[in-house]
Amino acid sequence: MRAILAYILMSQLIFGLVVKSFVVFEWKMNQEEITEKYCVNKDKPMMNCNGKCYLSKQLENLELKEEEERKNNPSPAPLVESTNFAWILGHDIPTPIIHSTFEKKSDGLNQPTFWYDRIDHQIDNPPQV
């Protein structure tokens, strides 16, 4: 069952990546015909468009369809939010104290130096037997 689900998910992922490649491949195979029929810049050969305008429209339409699908089918909300479970165990969350000083460098600029001090020192001591 897991293998079938894995194959389905992998095929969906690969299909999503291949769709754009297929549009580009189709354009490249039919580039001359597309240039003759659909190119809006045929009368401007100096632009070297060669149907790239058609390709950009096709890719833009594909993006719009994908965006519309995402709006119609939003991803579900996460089932579990990440949180700190220290309150379950009855422990307080240790709050660090940040100290800072400024050291004078040789070029005349001040360089900040930071270090932390923990308030909760119970973590460093092993439990008493």
Mean pLDDT taken over the chain: 76
> Per-residue pLDDT tens for 38-97?
888 878 878 888 888 888 899 999 889 888 988 888 776 665 555 555 556 655 655 666
Residue 94: per-residue pLDDT: 58
Distances from the Cα of 11 to the Cα of 4, 14, 20, 62, 105, angstroms: 11, 5, 15, 19, 58
Name 111's Cβ contacts closer than 8 Å, sequence gap at least 6.
102, 103, 104, 105
Residue 54 burial (CB count, 10 A): 20
What is the mean pLDDT of the segment spanning 93-114? 68
pLDDT band at 12 (very low <50, low <70, confident <90, very high): confident
**What does the alpha-carbon distance between residue 43 and residue 120 come to, in Å, rounded to a whole number?**
76
State the distance between the two ends of the chain, measured CA to CA, in whole angstroms: 50
pLDDT band at 98 (very low <50, low <70, confident <90, very high): low
**What does the alpha-carbon distance between residue 39 and residue 54 come to, in Å, rounded to a whole number?**
6
Residue 60: per-residue pLDDT: 92
Distances from the Cα of 116 to the Cα of 25, 75, 84, 103, angstroms: 57, 40, 21, 17
Better-scored residue on pLDDT, 30 or 16: 30
Assign residue 51 a region (left: φ > 0; alpha: ψ between -120 and 50; beta: otherwise).
left
pLDDT band at 2 (very low <50, low <70, confident <90, very high): confident
